[in-house]
Structure formats: structure tokens, C-alpha cells
Structure 1
């Protein structure tokens, strides 16, 4: 075994050395694409791109180099920063089979969340997607609406108890995290995590909220994830992980352990309920209407060819929790922060909600809730300007060509309208940059103006064929890797906002709010803190 271990280790080291030096010896068509200079041999521009306060660097990248620029990734490899809509249309839709999430991303997701939808590509991804698509249909979302209202009414009661004697500062992000987890728990998994009406420091809630910041603190893990299997079997790698003398690595390990353990508990409890029959399932949380119950039933009925193995079904659990909790809770927090800063918008939205609630005698039904114009405008505008996911990665599976919507002048003086893409090229697809490009949205593109959605959009937006499944935005992207749960997310946002804004007024408190750039943007009290937190002054609304 020793000689084999030495050979494997030697091969691993040689591979890393080659990755480190090859950009200096191998010419690439990307060499002439303009972009910022590299900051380090190992990390390129990644520290500038991913640090907590990297908003200014991203703006510099956008305004200095335009819709396509060369950036430097791990080992100074040539990457492309892209927000050109025609290029994104090629990556996400037209030529989507030529791209995938990337070797690094796939390995990291599989390592942290298991073999769910985000960790698969090609035929395996399509198989999972085929099984999951019907589970997130509009019909299922309509069935979940009463359940969502039940959860948010508990949230309303909890907040009302705290502000009944007058305005009070509350950590709104904490409440949004607890609520989103309970909505995903009941609506997605058929499991209750948090009673909401009682004080709770649920271990899983804390772990889920810490997940994105913990990953961001060790972003370098992406560089080594594809090579970890060289270190030996899983049990041995776990021993090595426990010995890593790095507080940030151990924090991420603890967060992943908590999420994995609770996911397995939920999965096996749900599977047991289904095996006992419909009566037992109807008495469970979610009454068998939740996403996981539907998925398990459909998977049992599926042919052997279409059926997902147990580890892949279990892998959806961490994916549901990660993709459905942090994104939506942070998006809701962003909306409430913006409403606190724009009291006129908050008052207008509240008037629309009160009128609808009076018309329907309480909770607004699913179809009518989705059709409220100003509520929809507030959600769309927030998801345009401040989508919780700022960027996604893609990697070329083969040599290909990337079309551009406008000519690009290269560093050698040539002008091109398409870029030859070598196999393995990694793309940083900047979703927010596309959603706020002044060339499409006009000079006020960086302003938060819900009213823009109450009139026709600029012709440039309509003509750009932006690859998105929602509102001419790339927020949820498009194609085979579009966000499968966007209807679930929309229902969450609108039910929570209709309940909270109609009942409470939100104002800015004296405690600072700073939004951090990350895979999922999150608020803290300053850029030095990694603890997610957002405090607003909350008071009752008199009707």
C-alpha cells in the first residue's frame, strides 16, 4: 500500500504544480480578453471577488471592463466574468449541454449537501429533474398555501407579543430565518422545526443560517475539493478533517454535521410514515402535501429506470434546506430593510394588502395573492436589484464558442463578436450585473423603484432575450438548471409579506445594517462580523 500511496501523492503534487505553472507556458484565446491584473499566484482575483466587502471591486469590474472580462481563478487560471445577456443565453439555454456547474462546484456541493440536484449534471441531473419537476407545480403550491398561512400567523403572534407595548428593536433576519426554515420544513419536508410562538435556539436553524457565511470564509476549499478523494476512503478523510487546526474549517464541519444528521432523521421518519399508509401520513405535519412526501410517493411508483436511489432522495434534503431557507429568508429581510428605508412604498403596499384582505375576509387566496400588482412589483424589484444569489459558476465541458451581444475590443487591438472557449474554462456569471445593466434597464437601473413594474419595461429588456424564467430577470436563470423551487420561493415571500406588512410597521433602528457580498448575500452589523443579523424597529399597525 505504501508505494501506491506515494505514487498517488506524487501524482497529486505534480498535478498541482502543473496547474500552477501552465498558464505561463500554454497560450489561450482568453489571454487577449481585457480584465484586472491577478492579485496572487494561488488565488488570482478570488479574494477580491469573494471577500465580505467586495461590492466596490465588482462595480469596478462591471464599469471598467463591461459585460465580458477575464479574471484570474485558482492557480491564476483564465476565468471569464460574464453578464452579457446573449452570452448568458448561450450558457444557460441555447448551448447548455456544453456547460455544467463545474468540477469544483459539483464536488463541493456533493461533499457538503450530498448527491442531490445541485451536485449532478448530464443524464443524472435530468433524471432527478424529471422526478422533481411535478413536485413543484403550481397545483402543489396552491395546496400548500393554507399551510403557509398557518406558519406565518404563528410568526405574527410571536412578533405581536413582543411589540404590543410599543415599538421594539427586533432581529428581523433571525425571525425570517426561523420562518423560512419552518416553511421549508412543513411545506418541503413535512416536518416541524420551530414552533415560532416560543423562544427557540434550534440547532438546525442556527446551522442553516451559518452555512453560507461559513462556506464563504473557506472559499479556497473549492480548489482542493476535486482532489480530496486522493487522500483515501471517507472514514480516513474524516479523521484528517477533524485534525485540521483551522477554526473556520471546523465551524463549517460542525454546520454540515448538524444539517446532515437532522436530514437523515427527517428522511427516515417520513419514509416510515409513508410505509405505514395514508392514514398515518394524513396525521403528520403537512398532511402528506409536502414536497418530500409527494417525491417519496412518486419515487416508489416510478419504474425501475426512473426511480432515484435512496442516497439521491436523501441528497435532496440538504438541497431543499440550503436552497430554500437562506435564499428566501435573506430576500425577505432585504425587502423589509428596503421598506423600512422607504416608508411611502411600505404604506402603499400596506393599503393594497388591507384592501385585498377585506375583500376576501382574511387570508388572500393563492391566485389572488399572486396577482396583487404592487406586492408583485415590490418582490420583482427587490429580486432584480438585490437578488440573494449574486452569481453562479459554469464550466465548459468541451471546446465551444461564446457569442456576444456587442463587439469586444481585445488587448491586442482586435475586435471580436464571439470568443473561442477552451474546454475547462470557468465562468463567473454575474446575475445582479445583468439585472442592473444600464444598457438594458436605463440610467435608473441601480435604483430601487417598484413602480417600474407597473408600466411597460424598456424595449431593450424585451429585445435582449434574457435567459430567465421570471420577469425578464436572470435571478432564477433558465434552462435545465433553472431554480426548480422558484414558485415555492415566491409563495413564501408573498405570504410572509402580506401577513407582516399588513400587521406591523418596519423602521430603521440605530443598529447598523451592512450587507455582505457572498454566494448568498447576508446582513451583519459590520463587515468584520460573520454573524448574520439585521435589526429593525417594529411596531403594530392600527387598522
Structure 2
């Protein structure tokens, strides 16, 4: 059977599936305003994901905090950025708005029974056991593992610089990916993945790095996954993968099998060490979150313990989160290369903090090598402001889906106009409606963040004297808090009693509620550690290379759901991810 016939057959089945589904879920979104459907197959959906920064923000500016958009084959969906509506979706009515079956089943097939593949009581049990694992005390415990890995990254980049102190163009994106993988391997799993040594990188790290790229190749098949899982056994699903003329599908299956095998090896290795009283993780007697997780699970009651399959499922779930941190690391260095004043201010702040320790220890001449404690690292005001502002303005993931499991009503903070031109402060949501949470739109909301919400301005997080605004629980929520009463009026992201329900400074970058990103504190720590380590010794600027016509190399960030940095023609193809920056050793003139 030819590929064309197979695609036709799949599309026919999908059309039938959609039609049957619509009969049981009548359209109730007729009065919600939005753009016209553009394509019969993809609706407007492709515009949200394909370099969709301006399209997403333009829809919200035109229609408000709830917009009707068309998905595949005309399915009507809601793009939501209104703060009160999102409070209901992710906190108050989270038992109504669930992860989609497509999302859950895909994650289960690839990563196992981890947090991003479970719902209901199973998910609650996993969160209850894992939340304490990511406590501040445990972040302090794993920082001694994080710091040497960041130092190793510095050494790898310094090795590419000329001895005479000249500038070299270095693509920071692959290095960001490698250091993120080693940080997750060392601090989270307690193993060495050797990602910073390209010739020795472990199979597990190589496989994780391939997953996202391979998944994009089979994106068109994702809507069929729930139907296939419910109606066909594993045996017949494997047969279909063998028969379909889709090599990328077989590649995805092999990657999934490799991830499962590697995760089981890690789990049994760490479990055996724990049972035999071995407390060392890789590279010495340091703590990893995997060891902490196994100890917590072992000490819990029989009812609260996770099964081996659930624990194995967490391993690759935690590793895949490195994709989003990778783009955040590359993005912040690109911003600092563009904003030279901010780079100098950050470098000077870090030097001051390290020098204070170096003077006490009598090693002023080597202040760059002085490690910062966790509490010092996370409390440096300008470093914190740079990280928060970058994650606010450029969230690594711009959209997240939920589905209404029953009829519901979304109350709105700000009224929208219906298709009849009338104002309304609530939207009826029929059961089965797909809700697209606009993280991007939420983080750019000018009512919440000010008229300069579209600008990168870390000073919004600081007082006039340069201190942090809203330290501690006034900025970040504890897990499972309901976002009520923790944020002071005037804190960034809280204006006139209105705020978003995010766990990270009210922004929606890491979501909110019980399905908020469990590793956001670890992500913040690793990003700050890499910044503090590299900025102390290196200077970054935008690429200076020009072609024969004098055209300078330019980096462009596409927002394709995920951030995708590319080099524009004539220097690049505009498709391949890359962040080339000019790098040299820092000089005295690079400090304030």
C-alpha cells in the first residue's frame, strides 16, 4: 500500500472519529468571537505553532482573554489568557479541566508511568511523594553536584578560545543542551551521562536529545494515538508500526524502547545501592534527587509508596524537561550578548558576591572559582531579575492544552465581546472542548505586567535601590498552594488585585495548581549556576561575521510552540537550530 493511500485511510478514519465525537458534543461556542477558519484541515491551529509569536499576541489584542480558534477539521477550541479563567482551569476547577488523552497516552508510551502520563488519584499520589523531593532543602543538597558541572562547561568553552585573548564564534545552543543533560544526570539521577564530552556521551543522553526532534516527524499521527491504544493490543499496534510506510514512527518506537531500558538500568542501580547502604552518587558522596526520592518512597507507608513502574516512569519524565531549560539557557546568553549594559551589571554583581567570600578565604586572585552557596545564588537581586524576566517574556513553552470533561462556565476577569458585539463576563464551555492555555499571552498581558510588558526589562523585579521586590513566598508559591493571599499588591504580576495563578512569581511559565512543573526550582537553580559560572569569566556579544556583501549574521527566534533559534539567510537556512555568539575572556573593562 502506498504512502498516499495510507494517509488517505488515516484521514478518513480521523474524519469519521471527529464526526462521531461531534454528534455527542454539540457546538456551544457559536457566540465566542475569533478569527475565520483558514484551512479545512488545520483550521487556524497551524498559525499558533508555526512562528506564531505575533499571531498569538495579535489574537489576544483583538479579541481579548478568550478567543475561539479552529483546530483540525474544524474542531472549535478556546485560546485562553484571561487570569480569572485560567485560575479556574488550573486551580479551582482542575478536576474539570484535564490533560488531553492524546497528551497523556503519548507520554505514557514514550516515557512510562510518570507525572506527565497520569491523572486522578494516581497523579495525586505521585505529587504527594515527589513534592518534598524538590524542596529548598534538597536543592541546597544537590548544588554541590551542579556547580562542578557548570565549571566543566566553562572549561570546554575556554578550550575553544584563542590563547591570545581573541574572540571565537561559538554556537552556545548545543553546549546548553549538553550541560543541561549532565546537570540532570548528575543532580537528579546521580549518574554521569558525559554529555559535555561529545565522544563519550552515554546512550541515555543521546536518546533523550533525539526524542523531541523525532516526535515532530510523527506529529500528524498524535490524534490517532487514543483511538489506537483503546482499540488495539500492544501486539497489533506494533504490527501497524511495522506495516506503515513511516520510518519516523519506527524510529520513535526504538527511541522509546531505549529510554525504557536505560531508565530501568538507572532505577535498579540506584535501588541496589540504597539496599546495600551505598550513599555515594556519581563523582563522590553527593546527594541526587533520585536517591532522595527512593529513600522517601521506602520510608512511606505501603499505601503511599509508588510502584517500581511509577518510579521508573519518573526518570525519563525528569530528563525530558531539559529541553525547555536548554532553550532558556541559550536565550538568556543571547539577550545578554544583545544587552551589553545588563551583562556588565550582572557580571559585577556576581563578582561582588564571590569576592566577599574570596577575601575571607584569602583567594582574591581566584575569585572567579569561588562557589556560591544556594541561598546566595538564588538571592542575588539582578541575577534573579534577569532570570525571571527572561522566563516571563520568552517562556520555553508557549501553549499547553486542557480538555473540559464536563460542561462548565469560565468566569472572566475582563469582559470580551461576543460575535453579536455584546459584552460578556463568562463563557460557557461544553464538555469535550479543548482549552489552549496561552502562556505567552498571559506573560505579555499589559494589564498585569504594565505597558512595557512586551519589553525585556529586568528592573521591573527590583526596587529603585536595586533590591528584590517581594522576597520569598510573596514571589513563588509552595506546591499545591491555591495562589490566594501570597502575593502583595505591587509585586510584579499583581496589579489592582489581579494576578495569574502561576507558581513562579504569578507568571504562567511553569503553570499553577497541582500540575505545575514540579522541577521549576531546580530549573531556576541550574540556570542561575550556569550564568554565574560563565559570566564571571567570559564575555558574550552578538555574532560579528559578515558575508561578502557586508550582511551581518543574524539570529532569529521562532516561536513554534517551543522556542526555535535559527540563523537567517544568507548565513543560515532559517531552519536549523543554532545560537552562534562571539565569545572571549572577560576583561577588566567588562565590569562596572
Distance in structure 2 (CA, Å) of the matches to 1:528 and 1:245: 28
Segments of 5+ residues of structure 1 without an aligned counterpart are: 1-9
The correspondence for 2:143, drawn from 126, 145, 148, is 145
Q: 1:44: Cα distance to partner?
A: 2.5
Q: Match for residue 476 of structure 1?
A: 510
Q: Match for residue 184 of structure 1?
A: 184
Secondary structure of 2:511 counterpart: coil
Distance in structure 1 (CA, Å) of the matches to 2:78 and 2:558: 23
Is the 8 Å Cα contact of residues 557 and 566 (structure 2) preserved in structure 1? yes
Q: Deviations over 1:177-196 (max 9, x none)?
A: 11111111011111110163
Q: Match for residue 399 of structure 1?
A: 407
Q: Match for residue 170 of structure 2?
A: 170
Q: 1:338: Cα distance to partner?
A: 0.4
Q: Match for residue 532 of structure 1?
A: 577
Is the 8 Å Cα contact of residues 326 and 520 (structure 1) preserved in structure 2? no
Distance in structure 2 (CA, Å) of the matches to 1:25 and 1:96: 23
Structure 1 residues 286 and 417: CA distance shift in structure 2, 3 A:
farther
Q: Match for residue 445 of structure 1?
A: 453
Secondary structure of 1:427 counterpart: strand
Q: 1:176: Cα distance to partner?
A: 0.9
Q: Match for residue 38 of structure 1?
A: 37
Secondary structure of 1:30 counterpart: coil
Q: 1:452: Cα distance to partner?
A: 1.5
Structure 1 residues 86 and 122: CA distance shift in structure 2, 3 A:
same
Q: 1:446: Cα distance to partner?
A: 0.8
Are 2:125 and 1:83 aligned?
A: no
Is the 8 Å Cα contact of residues 31 and 78 (structure 1) preserved in structure 2? no
TM-score, reference length from structure 1: 0.91
Q: Match for residue 275 of structure 2?
A: 275
Q: 1:303: Cα distance to partner?
A: 1.8
Q: Match for residue 507 of structure 1?
A: 541
Distance in structure 1 (CA, Å) of the matches to 2:378 and 2:230: 50
Q: Deviations over 1:76-117 (max 9, x none)?
A: 222100001111111111222211112221112112211100
Q: 1:150: Cα distance to partner?
A: 1.1
Q: Match for residue 20 of structure 1?
A: 19
Q: Match for residue 383 of structure 1?
A: 391
Distance in structure 2 (CA, Å) of the matches to 1:43 and 1:248: 21
Name the structure where helix makes up a greater proportion of residues: 1
Q: Match for residue 338 of structure 1?
A: 335
TM-score, reference length from structure 2: 0.84
Distance in structure 2 (CA, Å) of the matches to 1:380 and 1:459: 11
Q: Match for residue 487 of structure 2?
A: none
Are 2:564 and 1:522 aligned?
A: yes
Q: Match for residue 367 of structure 1?
A: 375
Q: Deviations over 1:231-254 (max 9, x none)?
A: 532233223224432354445445
Distance in structure 1 (CA, Å) of the matches to 2:419 and 2:244: 43
Matches within 5 A, 1:245-260: 245-260=245-260
Distance in structure 2 (CA, Å) of the matches to 1:235 and 1:272: 32
Q: Deviations over 1:491-534 (max 9, x none)?
A: 10111100011110111113442323234323233596664322
Q: 1:21: Cα distance to partner?
A: 6.9
Secondary structure of 1:115 counterpart: coil
Q: Deviations over 1:159-216 (max 9, x none)?
A: 1111142221112111111111111101111111016367555554444334334334
Root-mean-square deviation over aligned CA pairs: 2.5
Is the 8 Å Cα contact of residues 381 and 450 (structure 1) preserved in structure 2? yes
Secondary structure of 1:521 counterpart: strand
Segments of 5+ residues of structure 2 without an aligned counterpart are: 1-8, 359-369, 464-489, 546-552
Distance in structure 2 (CA, Å) of the matches to 1:353 and 1:334: 19
Distance in structure 2 (CA, Å) of the matches to 1:284 and 1:131: 24
Distance in structure 2 (CA, Å) of the matches to 1:471 and 1:143: 24
Q: How many corresponding residue pairs?
A: 529
Q: 1:270: Cα distance to partner?
A: 1.6
Q: 1:460: Cα distance to partner?
A: 5.5
